[in-house]
C-alpha cells in the first residue's frame, strides 16, 4: 500500500510517498514559488535533487512531482498506478468534519463553504484535491483535517463569550489546529505511559505553536481558536491579545481591519519583540550574547507556554505527562528547561542531562523521582494522514 501525501499551500506544496503499514517513506519533497519561477527539492534514494523549473500553476507542480517519482535517478515507483490513494492535509473542516473522510463532490462543496474561516489555506487544499482527482481519476482521495481532533471539545471549551447568535449564524467558535500532530503525539505518550486513563498536555512548538489538553486520547481544550492567531506567542503571530488593541492600533497607525490582522499575524510574535528574527535559534543565540530584547522574547515565550500548561493541568485535574514536539519543542533544550522550571509543585522535575540529549527518538527527560513524566516526542503528521487514508481506502 502506497499513499501519496499532499499538503498544498497557496504558492507551495509539500509531499511524501509512504507505506503506512511500515511507515517507510520512499520519497519526500517541497515545491516552492509556484506561479513565479518554480523550485523543487526532492529527496529519494538517499539523495537530494534540486530543480529550477517553471510551474505556472499547481497542476504543473503536481505533474512534475509525479514525473519525478516515476522517472530518472529519482524514480521510486514504475508509474503513478503504483500509488494506491492520496491523502490531503486540510486546514479547516469546521463543524462538518470530526474525522477524516473520502473526498467526493459533497465534501468539496462543504470545504468551499468553509473558505471564509481559512481563506489562505482551504482554497489551496481544495485545489490540490481537484488536480489529483483529474490526474489520477481512478484513485481515491482522503481529506485529513487539522481541526478534526479538536471536535471532541465541549461547548464550554470552544464557545466564545459573544452573543450566541454569532455562533449559530456565523460559526464563530474555537476550532483549534495542529490536530494531526496533537493526535499523534498524545497517542505516543499514552503508549509510553502504558496507562488507560491518561491526562496529557501536548506542546507543539514550532514557528506556529499550540498546546492541547488531552484526556483519554481526546482533545478537551487547545490554545488556537477560530484561526491560528489565538493562543501562544509564535514566530510572527502575537497570540493572545486584548481585543481592544485592534481598534487602538487602527486609530494610531491608520490601519484598516485587514491590515491590523496582517500586522498581528505576520509582524508580531518573536519577530516583533526581538526585532531580530522569527527563528528562535537566532534569538537564543542573540540572548546568549546579552541582547536584552532577545532575552525578553525568550522569557515571554516560556511564561506563556507555562501559563497554558498550568491552566490545562487544572482542567485535566492533574497531569500524567507533558510532551514537547515540533521544531522548537524537539530541539530547544533551553525552552524546555525554562518552561519546566517552577512547575515542581505539579510534580514536574526535569533532568538537565537528559534534556540536553538530542536525537530523533521518543525520550523521557524527567528525573527518576518526577511524579509527572516529561516526554520529547518527534511529531509525524504525515503518518497520521497516511494511516487515515489507508484505513479509509484499503480494499
The DSSP line for 128-173 is HHHHHHHHSTTSEEEEEETTGGGGG--HHHH--SS-HHHHHHH--S
Length of the chain: 395
The DSSP line for 211-270 is EEEEETTEEEEES--SSTTSSS--SS---S--THHHHHHHHHTT--HHHHHHHHHHSSHH
DSSP structure class, residue 359: -
- Helix 122-135 crosses helix 58-70 at what angle (to 10 degrees)? 50
**Dist CA 177 CA 326 (whole Å):** 14
DSSP structure class, residue 36: T
The DSSP line for 282-339 is HHHHHHHTT-HHHHHHHHHHHHHHHHHHHHHHHHHTS-SEEEEEHHHHHH-HHHHHHH
Which of 46, 78, 104, 146 is flagged as catalytic? 146
**Dist CA 367 CA 322 (whole Å):** 13
Q: Give catalytic status of residue 146 as yes or no.
A: yes
Can you read off the three cell numbers belonging to residue 1?
500500500
**Dist CA 83 CA 35 (whole Å):** 27
Q: Is 350 helix (H, G, I), strand (E, B) or coil?
A: strand
Instruction: State CA 328 to chain mean position distance.
Output: 12
Q: What is the CA radius of gyration of the chain?
A: 21
What b/e sequence results for 236-265 when a residue is b if at least 16 CB atoms lie within 10 Å of its CB, and e otherwise? bbbbeeeeeebeebeeeeeeeeeebeebbb
**Dist CA 171 CA 334 (whole Å):** 39
Report, as residue numbers or ranges, the catalytic residues.
146
Amino acid at each position: 500500500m502506497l499513499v501519496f501525501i499532499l499538503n498544498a499551500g497557496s504558492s507551495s506544496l509539500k509531499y511524501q510517498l509512504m507505506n503506512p503499514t511500515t511507515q517507510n517513506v520512499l520519497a519526500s519533497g517541497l515545491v516552492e514559488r509556484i506561479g513565479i519561477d518554480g523550485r523543487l527539492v526532492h529527496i529519494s534514494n538517499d539523495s537530494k535533487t534540486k530543480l529550477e523549473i517553471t510551474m505556472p500553476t499547481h497542476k504543473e507542480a503536481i505533474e512534475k512531482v509525479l514525473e519525478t517519482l516515476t522517472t530518472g535517478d529519482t524514480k521510486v515507483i514504475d508509474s503513478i498506478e503504483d500509488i494506491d490513494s492520496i491523502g490531503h492535509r486540510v486546514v479547516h473542516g469546521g463543524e462538518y468534519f470530526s474525522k477524516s473522510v473520502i473526498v467526493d463532490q459533497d465534501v468539496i462543496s462543504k470545504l468551499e463553504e468553509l473558505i471564509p474561516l481559512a481563506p489562505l489555506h482551504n482554497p489551496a487544499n481544495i485545489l490540490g484535491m481537484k488536480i489529483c482527482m483529474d490526474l489520477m481519476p481512478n484513485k481515491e482521495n482522503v481529506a485529513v483535517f487539522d481541526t478534526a481532533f479538536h471536535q471532541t471539545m465541549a461547548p464550554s471549551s470552544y464557545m466564545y463569550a459573544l452573543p450566541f447568535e454569532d455562533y449559530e449564524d456565523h460559526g464563530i467558535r474555537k476550532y483549534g489546529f495542529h490536530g494531526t500532530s496533537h493526535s499523534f503525539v498524545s497517542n505516543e505518550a499514552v503508549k509510553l505511559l502504558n496507562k488507560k486513563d491518561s491526562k496529557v498536555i501536548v506542546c507543539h512548538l514550532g514557528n506556529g505553536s499550540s498546546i492541547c489538553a488531552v484526556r483519554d486520547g481526546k482533545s478537551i481544550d487547545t490554545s488556537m481558536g477560530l484561526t491560528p492567531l489565538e493562543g501562544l506567542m509564535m514566530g510572527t503571530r502575537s497570540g493572545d491579545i486584548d481585543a481592544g488593541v485592534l481598534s487602538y492600533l487602527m486609530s494610531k497607525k491608520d490601519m484598516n481591519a485587514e491590515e491590523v490582522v496582517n500586522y498581528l499575524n505576520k509582524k508580531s510574535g518573536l519577530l516583533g519583540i526581538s526585532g531580530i528574527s522569527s527563528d528562535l535559534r537566532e534569538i537564543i543565540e542573540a540572548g546568549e550574547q546579552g541582547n536584552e530584547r532577545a532575552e525578553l522574547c525568550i522569557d515571554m515565550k516560556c511564561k506563556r507556554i507555562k501559563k497554558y500548561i498550568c491552566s490545562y493541568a487544572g482542567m485535566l485535574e492533574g497531569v500524567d505527562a507533558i510532551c514537547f514536539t515540533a521544531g522548537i519543542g524537539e530541539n530547544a533544550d533551553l525552552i524546555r528547561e525554562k518552561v519546566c522550571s517552577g512547575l515542581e509543585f505539579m510534580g514536574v522535575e526535569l533532568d538537565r542531562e537528559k534534556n540536553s540529549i538530542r536525537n530523533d527518538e521518543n525520550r523521557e527527560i524527567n528525573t527518576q523521582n518526577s511524579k509527572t513524566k516529561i516526554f520529547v516526542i518527534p511529531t509525524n503528521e504525515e503518518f497520521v494522514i497516511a494511516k487515515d487514508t489507508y484505513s479509509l481506502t484499503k480494499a
